Chain A
Amino acid sequence: MKTTTVTLGHGSGGRQSAELVRFLVEGFMTRGIGPELEDAALLPGGYAMTVDGFTVMPRKFPGGDLGHLAVCGCANDLAVRGASPDYLGLSLVIEEGFPLDELKDYMESAAATCAAIGMTLAAGDTKVVPAGGVEGVLFSGCAFGKVHSPFPLGIGNLREGDILIVSGPIGRHGAAIASARFSLEVEGLESDCAPLWPAVRPLLSLGGLRCMRDCTRGGLGTVLCEWAEGSGLSIALEEEAIPIELQVQSLCDVLGFDPLYMACEGTLALAVAPEDGQKALSLLKESAIGRNAAVIGQVSGGEPKGMVSMRTSIGGERLVDMPWGELLPRIC
């Protein structure tokens, strides 16, 4: 680590977040009891487990709120590893003085989302801290589910020729939050926050399914960079094929952000063997979140190895790298 303190850059989901995680789990790794650093861990006995924390600001945003987000975030980490969202644990750290009605709203929306996907609240905890101890309320969730995929899904399965698919327009959650945070109202801009399990379930029957990722912090760009680096293969994208809503694009243009790195909360990237590519696409298109799913590129064995390249809309070639540090809006 180059710094002596934690910075906001460490929370941005890009390369710096990965550095922080490696730094923190070092003691576990060296003892051989560390995690495999996927969205959820596959446990012996056919179960998957994940943990996630939620500190979104504002807590209510177009397309969702903190409670809905907490459930989707946990459930989606399980889903992309082929596990059903069965059990949820929720831990709340609440600042003294926080309005009870608002807290109840988040729990109500969490309950509604759980009910919709068949998830049971199995455990929970509350802590109240003096004013100033946290900002409002922090939600942490732990989720547990049965693995339904016949084989483990993960980066290790990626092969040359695999087709890359994204389940819908990217960057909507990040853009919705940025629009609220920077008071830039964009009509029709909503977070994509939604459970992925209903869309994922039918995909698990495909023998050619390689791996899936929930494109959260760091966005689609970060996920694909991790796939390329993790597999040592090259990933080739077609810029024009990547679905981006006009609202997201225009907000990003104003703030100087790249939609590739904007967070999603109900959008997944998946890699599938070429023979199952069309099947995967049509299965996704039948689901509520996947109507605008699209093939966006391919895994190749060529150069540059371990990197993501993109053919741009004007026919140029460029590289896609992980974002570095905190995303800050630019000047002009």
Chain B
Amino acid sequence: MIPLRSDISLIVDGLHRLNTRPLSVMEVCGTHTVSIFRSGIRSLLPPDLRLVSGPGCPVCVTDQGEIDAALSLVERGAIVATYGDMLKVPCDRGSLASKRSEGYDVAIVTSAMDVAALAEKHPDREVVFLAVGFETTSPATAALVKEAEQRGLSNLSVLSLHKRTPPVLAVLAGDPGLKISGFLLPGHVCVILGHEPFSFLPRDCGLPSVIAGFEGEQILLGLAEILRQYSRGESSLASVYGRAVRPEGNEKARTLLDEVFVSRSAPWRGIGVIPDSGYALAERYGVFDAERRFSLTIEPGKSLPGCRCGDVLTGKITPPDCPLFRMACTPLSPVGPCMVSSEGTCGAYFRFYKGDS
């Protein structure tokens, strides 16, 4: 339902009343970042309320070394299947898109299960699913692995680059260089995980944290709740996305994750290696693990010269502060991953932000 304008203006009035001193709120999720731009939310906010974009775009946090590993798989003759916006993510020797234009086999899928069909269609080829994303896409990968086992698809494997959200937020919340007063938590991730994995943010770090949906109105409501808590000196985990997020999350999806994956340390582009922040296939499903099948070792990549995606992903700078932004780094020839994805912070700034508006 489209909210009435008067509802919106009430929320906006509330934001202006509650915002009495300079505050920064991090929206963690890339979909939030884009929605904030698309709905023009910044133009409605009080001047002292700053929104900082976090590391919640799966493409953007995929490390150079991980892309390098994927390229080596296509070069070795495998069909690599992945989600569309992974294609343009560069490492120092190209991207999947550049490999595709050289004639290598790269397939775009919109759901993990499409990979099973692809493997069935090419029984004589190795088909590798380059699995990226947070807790929102990892259950689908888990389901694919189980399906592959059931159908006996021995030519299918998964290169799991999946990342877990709570550990990276713990790193950010504990970063003294980062002045964040509250978190707008990713609605879709919370649909799966529920409230508990994020409860440490208000409890241990004293940060108001609000789960919000992706419509402009819900984002405004979430921000108002953060300001309300802040103005009263409170910090709790609240949700303004009750229609989709149950406090206990989606038990079925979590069981699937627990069964198929184990957590492991993972490299985050620009941030570094974070313990327990990635998902690897559990021993029981090791036969579908592309790292094992192709004896891959993923080395954390070197950062690209001049690229400040790490500082953008941790909210320390905004994209226009990066010397490459709009100059050497554009959506047509992205240097860093934040420019690649439609949900990347730099890409969003490039498309929607032309100055102080």
Instruction: Give the total of B residues in contact with A, Cβ under 8 Å.
Output: 50
Query: Could you jot down 7 A-B contacts, CB within 8 Å?
Result: A9-B332, A254-B110, A314-B3, A328-B108, A330-B84, A332-B58, A332-B134
Q: Which of B73-114 contact A (CB under 8 A)?
A: 83-88, 97, 101, 108, 110, 114
Closest chain B residue to A240, Cβ basis: B2
Cβ–Cβ < 8 Å partners of B88 in chain A: 325, 328
Cβ–Cβ < 8 Å partners of B137 in chain A: 331-332
Closest approach, in angstroms, between the C-beta of A55 and any C-beta of chain B? 17
Given contacts A256-B85, A256-B343, contact A314 B101 (CB under 8 A): no
Q: Which of B331-357 contact A (CB under 8 A)?
A: 331-333, 341-343, 350-354, 357
Tell whether, in the assembled complex, residue A329 and residue B83 are in contact, meaning their CB atoms are under 8 Å apart.
yes
Interface assignment of B44: CB less than 8 Å from any CB of chain A:
yes
Closest chain B residue to A182, Cβ basis: B110
Interface assignment of A288: CB less than 8 Å from any CB of chain B:
no
Cβ–Cβ < 8 Å partners of B133 in chain A: 331-332
CA of A76 to CA of B308, assembled, Å: 46
Cβ–Cβ < 8 Å partners of A324 in chain B: 330-332, 350-351
Closest approach, in angstroms, between the C-beta of A220 and any C-beta of chain B? 15
Closest approach, in angstroms, between the C-beta of A179 and any C-beta of chain B? 10
Interface assignment of B314: CB less than 8 Å from any CB of chain A:
no
State the majority secondary structure of interface residues on A: loop
Tell whether, in the assembled complex, residue B343 and residue A317 are in contact, meaning their CB atoms are under 8 Å apart.
no
**Size class of A's contact patch?**
35 or more
Cβ–Cβ < 8 Å partners of A307 in chain B: 354
Closest approach, in angstroms, between the C-beta of A178 and any C-beta of chain B? 9
Instruction: Indicate with 1 or 0, residue by residue over B1-20, a CB within 8 angstroms of chain A CB atoms.
Output: 01101001100100000000
Closest approach, in angstroms, between the C-beta of B145 and any C-beta of chain A? 18
Tell whether, in the assembled complex, residue B9 and residue A315 are in contact, meaning their CB atoms are under 8 Å apart.
yes
Given contacts A255-B110, A315-B8, contact A328 B85 (CB under 8 A): yes
Cβ–Cβ < 8 Å partners of B174 in chain A: none
Cβ–Cβ < 8 Å partners of B357 in chain A: 317, 319
Tell whether, in the assembled complex, residue A331 and residue B85 are in contact, meaning their CB atoms are under 8 Å apart.
yes
CA of A183 to CA of B58, assembled, Å: 23
Cβ–Cβ < 8 Å partners of B330 in chain A: 324
